[in-house]
Amino acid sequence: MKLNSANFALAASLTTAIVWVACSFLVVMLPQATMIASGDMIHMDIQNMMWSLTLSGFIKGLILWSLSVGLSAWIFCGNI
Protein backbone atom coordinates (compact mmCIF):
# COMPACT_ATOMS: atom_id res chain seq x y z
CA MET A 1 0.00 0.00 0.00
CA LYS A 2 1.48 3.35 -1.04
CA LEU A 3 0.77 6.51 0.90
CA ASN A 4 -0.45 9.55 -0.96
CA SER A 5 2.42 11.87 -0.10
CA ALA A 6 0.49 15.11 -0.55
CA ASN A 7 -2.35 13.96 1.71
CA PHE A 8 0.10 12.59 4.27
CA ALA A 9 2.06 15.86 4.33
CA LEU A 10 -1.16 17.89 4.64
CA ALA A 11 -2.41 15.69 7.48
CA ALA A 12 0.90 16.01 9.30
CA SER A 13 0.90 19.80 8.85
CA LEU A 14 -2.67 20.17 10.06
CA THR A 15 -2.05 17.90 13.04
CA THR A 16 1.01 19.97 13.97
CA ALA A 17 -0.99 23.19 13.67
CA ILE A 18 -3.74 21.83 15.92
CA VAL A 19 -1.22 20.66 18.54
CA TRP A 20 0.59 24.05 18.34
CA VAL A 21 -2.65 25.94 18.97
CA ALA A 22 -3.61 23.60 21.85
CA CYS A 23 -0.18 23.90 23.48
CA SER A 24 -0.17 27.68 23.09
CA PHE A 25 -3.64 27.84 24.64
CA LEU A 26 -2.41 25.78 27.60
CA VAL A 27 0.65 28.03 28.02
CA VAL A 28 -1.63 31.09 28.17
CA MET A 29 -4.20 29.51 30.49
CA LEU A 30 -1.90 27.40 32.73
CA PRO A 31 1.62 28.85 32.50
CA GLN A 32 3.00 27.31 35.70
CA ALA A 33 1.59 23.84 35.03
CA THR A 34 2.92 23.81 31.46
CA MET A 35 6.33 25.01 32.67
CA ILE A 36 6.48 22.13 35.17
CA ALA A 37 5.37 19.63 32.51
CA SER A 38 7.91 20.98 30.01
CA GLY A 39 10.68 20.73 32.58
CA ASP A 40 9.71 17.16 33.35
CA MET A 41 9.83 16.30 29.63
CA ILE A 42 13.43 17.53 29.30
CA HIS A 43 14.50 16.31 32.78
CA MET A 44 15.28 19.81 34.08
CA ASP A 45 14.03 22.11 36.80
CA ILE A 46 12.89 25.15 34.82
CA GLN A 47 10.15 26.33 37.16
CA ASN A 48 11.91 29.66 37.81
CA MET A 49 11.76 30.54 34.13
CA MET A 50 8.88 32.34 32.43
CA TRP A 51 7.05 31.84 29.15
CA SER A 52 7.27 34.56 26.54
CA LEU A 53 4.41 33.96 24.12
CA THR A 54 3.67 36.85 21.80
CA LEU A 55 1.21 36.95 18.92
CA SER A 56 4.03 37.18 16.37
CA GLY A 57 5.86 34.29 18.04
CA PHE A 58 2.68 32.24 18.01
CA ILE A 59 2.09 32.89 14.30
CA LYS A 60 5.74 32.34 13.30
CA GLY A 61 5.89 29.10 15.26
CA LEU A 62 2.58 27.91 13.82
CA ILE A 63 3.75 28.51 10.25
CA LEU A 64 7.33 27.27 10.62
CA TRP A 65 6.52 24.11 12.58
CA SER A 66 3.60 23.20 10.33
CA LEU A 67 5.63 23.71 7.15
CA SER A 68 8.69 21.88 8.45
CA VAL A 69 6.65 18.89 9.61
CA GLY A 70 4.70 18.82 6.33
CA LEU A 71 7.93 18.94 4.31
CA SER A 72 9.47 16.22 6.47
CA ALA A 73 6.39 14.05 5.99
CA TRP A 74 6.51 14.59 2.25
CA ILE A 75 10.22 13.66 2.15
CA PHE A 76 9.47 10.61 4.32
CA CYS A 77 7.11 9.39 1.58
CA GLY A 78 10.05 9.40 -0.85
CA ASN A 79 9.31 12.39 -3.05
CA ILE A 80 12.74 13.97 -3.10
DSSP class per residue in the chain = ----HHHHHHHHHHHHHHHHHHHHHHHHH-HHHHHHHHHHHTTS--TT------HHHHHHHHHHHHHHHHHHHHHHTT--
Looking at residue 17, its pLDDT comes to 98
Q: Tell whether the model's pLDDT for residue 1 goes beyond 80.
A: no
Looking at residue 60, its pLDDT comes to 97
Half-sphere exposure of 67 (CA within 13 A, CB side): 6
Q: What is the pLDDT of residues 45-79, one digit of tens each?
A: 888 888 899 999 999 999 999 999 999 999 998 76
Full-model pTM:
0.86
